[in-house]
Structures are given as structure tokens and as C-alpha cells.
A and B are shown apart, each in its own frame.
Chain A
Amino acid sequence: MDRRETIKALMAGSVASSFVITSCGPDESTMKNAKVGTENGEGFSTIETGAFDLDKEGHGYGRTPEEEAYDVKLLSDTFFNEHEMATIAILADIIIPADDVSGSATDAGVPEFIEFIVKDMPYHQIPVRGGLMWLDHESNKRFNKVFKDLSDQQRIDIVDDIAYPKDVKPEFTQGTKFFSHIRNLVATGFFSSKMGIEDIGYVGNTPNVWDGVPEDVLKKHNKSYDEKYMDQYIKPDQRNEIASWD
């Protein structure tokens, strides 16, 4: 296997070990499955729900050789075990469920984003892993089961105790810290995904011509442009004429 083949295998391996249900071998079919999963919008992994491509120079997003090597190293490691990933997925969808605007956190590949980001930023590792342990401990105490195996209502009973850091009982302060932490990662993972960016309604990142705030928005906000500058502002149709001051 050449270097890029190895990388692909490593990627597929990490996807498989953490998510794709059976067949963990880094073989061609697993890789294809992972890719197909994405193209169908099922979003198995960060790698596939994102667009970066290890086959391209700069991984398709302008990496230097040092950065390429760093990404490959992160992707070749696995941090969370299967149980932890399953718990993260359940929590993620409690925090960001599907609604009539967009899909859920797992639809957007958030658990795989979290797996990547804790390797990229190791300071997340102990709070998240320890928080998951706390959660299972609390679940066992209340219901004699780990969080993953609780009913929806039982899960919500616990989440309601840890989701509001300013209204928290003393015995749940650590759990609340954890929940705020995972809520940050889930929210950011969701809203920086393709699905999340479409949800929030960001419509930029494309060549266009800025010609000011739309008229109806100006009116709604009771704002207007200063008359003295109107002649000086950019004239969209003259942008490609060479400027002259003489």
C-alpha cells in the first residue's frame, strides 16, 4: 500500500471501529461503505460529512506537509470506545434533535466530529470521558442501568437535572459542567456542519456583489444610508474598470 492508500485504510478503520456496525477490517468494502453512507446523506463520519479529501494535495483545504501529517496522525488514532460513542450519539440527539428545519446532531455527523476534536484538543478528553462515566454512574444509581440503556423518559429525568447551570442542585454541579461542555461540542459540531450552516441560514462564502443592506431590512430597522456618501459607495457595474484619479 502506498502512503495515501494507508491513510484511507486508517480512516476507514477508525470509522469502522467506532461506528460502522460490523466488519472492522480496513478493507476496500468497508471504505466504500463509509463513503456511500455519506453520499446518501447518512453522514457516518466527520471525514465524509466534511469535504476534506486525503487523496488531494493539502487534503483539499490547503494543508502544509506538517499539517497533513498531523491530520493523518489524529485520524489514525481512536479515542472513544464503542460504548462511549453510542452514549455520545444519544446525548447529541437529545441536545440537537431533528425538527421541522433540519435533522439531528447524528444526522450531521456530530459524534464523529467530537471523536476528532478531542484528539485534536486533548483538554476535552478528561472532561468528556469523565462526564460520560459520571452519567452512567448517575443512571445506575437511579435506574440500575447505564445511560444508553435507559428509556427516553429516564434519560430526560437526568438531563433536566444537569442542563441548567444556574438552577442546579448541589449534587449535580459536576454533571452540569459536563453537560454544558458536551452541549458546546454538539452545538458547534452541528451548526458548523453543512446541515447546520443551512439551518442557521448563512448564505455567504460565495462570490457576489455587496450593495448594502436590503431595502426591506433597512425599513424594518428604521435605518437609512447617509446621503452624503451615496455617490461615493461602490458602483457594482464599475468594479472592473481600472481606477483613475487624474
Chain B
Amino acid sequence: MSFQIKEQSKKYDVCIVGSGAGGGMAAKILSEAGLKIALLEAGPDFDPANPDQMTQLKWSYESPRRGASTKYRNFGDFDMAYGGWQLEGEPYTTKDGTKFNWFRSRMLGGRTNHWGRISLRFGELDFKRKDFDGKGDNWPISYNDIAPYYDRVDKLIGVFGTKEGIFNEPDGYFLPPPKPRLHELYLKDATGKSKIPMIPSRLSILTQKVNDKRGACFFCSQCNRSCSVYGDFSSSSVLVKPSLESNNVDLYVNAMVREVLTDNNGLATGVSYIDKTDLQEYQVKAKVVVLAASAASSARILLNSKSASHPNGLANSSDHVGHYIHDSTGAGRSAIVPALMDRKRYNEDGVGGMHMYTPWWLNDEVKKKDMGFTRGYHIEYWGGMGMPSYGFGFGVENYNTMASDDSSKKAGGYGAGLKEDIRRYYGATVGFAGRGESVPQWSNYCEIDSDVVDKYGIPVLKFHYKWTDDEVNQAKHMADTFDEIIHNMGGIPTGPKPGPESNYGLKAPGEIIHEVGTTRMGNDKNTSVVNKYNQAHDVKNLFVMDGGPFVSQADKNPTWTILALAWRASDYLVDELKKMNI
């Protein structure tokens, strides 16, 4: 199925760089239109059904480190990301003492193999945030422009949920949602006491089949391991694999793209890449180039594509490439709920992730009063009787007296009593994760580090990123909200409440892995990189179809919008080719 081509004389219609959500969608739509595609992926081939690669349904003890993380798998031994926060021989740097953490997956399907499957549409407000609060910029498109593509993505890929009719939380074509777990019922009551909404979650997991090529979810809760029956969305399983069957797509794996090639007219002619297996450089020629390498990687390729006609990088006459990079905000909390101790055991794995969540509920309030921030966040919840792995049973001394009615009980201990304590508290922890919208800033950017190259000789990215008061105040609101919910359910927070010394628990930029905005779209070519169809203002046969074109990343998780925009851009691309405009 996949193969490496040592010398490529074939000229393609389209060369797509990256096989994640955007690249996978482009490969599918463009190949179905009959175009000849070269799809380049910097990592190896991957199929979650391949027994040599699969980790689904493995037990903790099938890993000698019991599922703990390694430098090869930062989210644990079974997590399906070949990559992590640092890749050997592929550094990135930061400047001015700022922090940015960059997670890269190098494999077919990229980060879609392990993502949370939270598949939320942006709402009408999310495209027009400047109109709402005067900050940042509006998108050049509105919800109505993208809604038909959200509809198609829902039906093609599948997402469960419920029609709720909530403003700015558009409904879609949903599959049936799973019933809540026990701790989610407790949370539902607790959020209700504070008038915080909590509704069935919206995840791209097949609670019912959408075609005969993908199986229905069998409830192992391990979506982060990538599903061997393709019962959840990953680009490799759902988009790339079917498109390879068309014979219109040649897949190049281990192909690390250095730059986009251009001709004397400044048009793209293809890309050059390093074949990681022989460390030789090759070129692939194509009429159109689609970058979908991830927001930061695509910016890096553009900035490294310097030529006489593009002295500061390709598609960068605006000097905007790399600027406005922004990630979601994130902060978390956990608590022990005494009512959930000494639980009856049963299988409550369910789907991978939460069965209920809280959409942002205070759009009106942030308008009415000064809360110190104006953009929203949603709340994800976790808990339940999961499979013990490395880390389970740690820190008993921190909790085994928390909910004890025996006043002589001492923290810590050993022996039969310790075993019993661990059993009693199993499944009694609930957790909270706030994921919010940040305000994109010109002063947050990635650029080429003038001093550092990676092991392939390609200049690397340097990041400069600072949160503003908006994000810090939003994190404070999250911390207050979590503790209110914990109080409502009679829970005991684990650890002290995060305060100003830690920005209220606000994670460092990049850590939520929603970085977008480096090649933002707009109608003005002086203040944006691509137009509203993801087409570079400066180079008409160059498109960017990852998260780079986002003007603002709502609190909604970017994947569903990357998919919808890539489909829309691919339709436009086909149309422009037909009209001979490209």
C-alpha cells in the first residue's frame, strides 16, 4: 500500500504535505475529483489494525513499565503518538524567556491517532469575536459559509451528540450518545446546583456505523490508542486509507519536507524533502501544493522557502507567517468524592472520553460585567473505574485519611490496611479540565531560528509566546468554578487551590496541543496569509489546510473546523482548476 519512491519523475496534480486531519481530508476530496496526488508524511506508515503496531486492548502488565510514559511516548506506553514534546534530532527553541511546548506526531494520520475526539462546531459568535468584544479579528467567513461542510463532515465521519439548540453551540447530524457514567450523574447534579449546563458530549466515535468499512465502537474507552476497527476518527483510518484505494494517491512516508519549490513567476512547482530512510533529498513536482503539516510546521516550511521572488519566505509578503500563533488555554483540578467510595465494581469503560461536558455558558455575563476576560471555555470531566497503570496507588498518604470516620487513622501505612484503602478509594476521584479561547496576539509568533538546524539540516522554529491577562483571568474563573462544583458534590479537592503564583493553574502555551493561527485567513493580503478559501494571497497554486488559517481558535477544539475548512478549500481548488484559474 505505501511505498517510497527514490526518484520521482512523475508530475502530480497536487502535492499534499501532511496526513493529519487537513491533509487527509484534502487527499480524500481531491483524489475523488480524479486528481493525481502525492501525499507526503514525515513519519512511518501506521494502521491501528496492524498487530505489530496496535496497543488497543493491551493490559497494563503487557508493558514492562505498566503503561508509563517514555521519551518515545509522552502520554504513556499505549498512547498512539509516535513523537512527543521533543523529537530526537529535531529541536525547537524559544526566545526572551517565554515558553512554548510543541507536540509533534510523526506517523500516518499524525496527531489524529491519539486526540480526544471532541468534535465541536464553531458557532456564529466564534467567527466574529471582534464584533463581540473588540479584541483580535473577525474571520472573513461566517458560520453559514462553513455550516454545509460541518454537515458533510458529520455524516462522513460520524459524531455523537444531542440537539440542544444552545446559542453559539450549533447542533449537527448526530449519532446516539452514550448514557452517562455514575460520576457524571453526580457531576450533573452538582453543576445544576450552580446553574452550569452539562450536556451529552460530542465525540467522533461511532456509536452507530456510518458505513461498512468501519466498525461500531465496542466501548473500551481507549480512543487515544487509535481504534483497530476504525470506530473513531483518525485521519489515517478514515480518510487516507480509503483514498489510497482509488489509485490516485501515492503515499510517501518518512518524507520530511524542507521547502516549497517555486519558478521564476513565483508559483509553486512542488516540494523538496529528505527521505529519512536514506537521508537523500528528493523533489516532487506538482501543479498545486497543499500544506497541511500542522500550523507550526507549515509556517516553518513557508519561512524556509526563500527565493529571489520571496526573500522572507513564501506567501509572506504580509510578514504575517508565524504570527498570531495561539493555543487553547487549559487548567485542571481533581477531587475525591466520598459518595463514590466503596463502589460496586462493573465495567464502565464506555467510549473514549467523557460522556457529558459543559459548554461555555456565560457569553451574556462577560458582556454585562467586567470579569477580566471575555472569551469562553468549556469543561471536560474525567473519573471512574479505569484500568490501573503506572502511577495508580501513588501518594496514598495524601488521601487515605481524607474521608475516614476513624479519627485514629494515620496518613500512609502498609499491609492489609493499605490494600484495603486503595480498594476503597478506587473510582472515587473526579477530574476537571477547562479548555478555553485565548485572544490571538501579533506579539506571539514563531520564526526561523537563525542559528539552529535539525538533523536534516533544516532550520528550526523559534517560539515567542506570552499569555495576557485575559487568559490568566479566565484560568482563575476556571479554578473558582471547579471548586464550586466540587463543593456542590461534597467532594474534597486533591491539593491546594492554584493561585496567582501559578497563573491559577494555567498551562504553558502549546500544552493543550491546539496551536493554530500561523497563516491566518483574511480578505486583506496585507494582514493575512491566505484568503477565505485557504489559498495563499501571494501564490495562487499554494494552499494551507491545517490549523494555520484559523483567525481565532474558539474553546471548541480545532479538528472539526480543520476538516470542514479543508473540504471547503478542496472543493474550491477543484473548481478553480476546472476554470483554469490555477
Q: Which residues of A contact B (CB under 8 A)?
A: 46-47, 49-52, 56-58, 60-62, 64, 66-67, 70-71, 74-75, 94-97, 99, 101-102, 113, 116-117, 120-121, 159, 163-167, 179-180, 183-184, 187-194, 196-197, 199-214, 216-218, 220-221, 223, 225-226, 229, 232-235, 238-243, 245
Given contacts A166-B397, A204-B221, 7 further A-B contacts (CB under 8 A): A52-B62, A75-B64, A94-B414, A97-B419, A192-B66, A204-B347, A210-B349
Residues of B within 8 A of A214 (CB): 344, 346
Q: How far is the CB of A34 from chain B (nearest CB, A)?
A: 15
Find the residue from A180, A189, A205 having the highest chain B CB count within 10 A: A205
Whose C-beta in chain B lies nearest to the C-beta of A239? Answer: B216
Q: How far is the CA of A207 from the CA of B140 in the complex (A)?
A: 45
Q: Which residues of B contact A (CB under 8 A)?
A: 44, 51-55, 57-68, 70, 72-73, 77-78, 82, 155, 158, 160, 162, 173, 175-182, 185-186, 188-189, 200, 207-212, 216-222, 339, 343-351, 385-397, 410-416, 418-419, 422-423, 426
Pair A120/B387 contact, Cβ less than 8 Å? no
Residues of A within 8 A of B395 (CB): 184
Pair B208/A241 contact, Cβ less than 8 Å? yes
Q: How far is the CA of A175 from the CA of B66 in the complex (A)?
A: 27
Q: How far is the CB of B180 from chain A (nearest CB, A)?
A: 7
Give which listed residue, B61, B72, B416, contacts A49 with CB less than 8 A: B61
Looking at chain A's contact residues, the main secondary structure is: loop
Pair A188/B208 contact, Cβ less than 8 Å? no
Interface contact tally, CB-CB below 8 A: 268
A-B contacts, 19 listed (Cβ < 8 Å): A95-B418, A96-B419, A101-B423, A116-B65, A120-B64, A120-B65, A159-B414, A188-B394, A189-B66, A200-B426, A203-B346, A204-B349, A206-B220, A207-B218, A207-B220, A218-B185, A221-B339, A233-B177, A242-B211
Whose C-beta in chain B lies nearest to the C-beta of A67? Answer: B72
Pair B176/A233 contact, Cβ less than 8 Å? yes
Pair B55/A61 contact, Cβ less than 8 Å? yes
Pair B64/A47 contact, Cβ less than 8 Å? yes
Give which listed residue, A71, A184, A194, A239, contacts B209 with CB less than 8 A: A239
Q: How far is the CA of A69 from the CA of B343 in the complex (A)?
A: 42
Q: How far is the CB of B225 from chain A (nearest CB, A)?
A: 8
Pair A223/B415 contact, Cβ less than 8 Å? no
Given known pairs A199-B419, A206-B220, the reply for A239 and B397 (CB within 8 Å) is no
Q: How far is the CA of A166 from the CA of B413 in the complex (A)?
A: 11
Q: How far is the CA of A238 from the CA of B217 in the complex (A)?
A: 12
Given known pairs A70-B72, A223-B186, A245-B155, the reply for A209 and B219 (CB within 8 Å) is yes
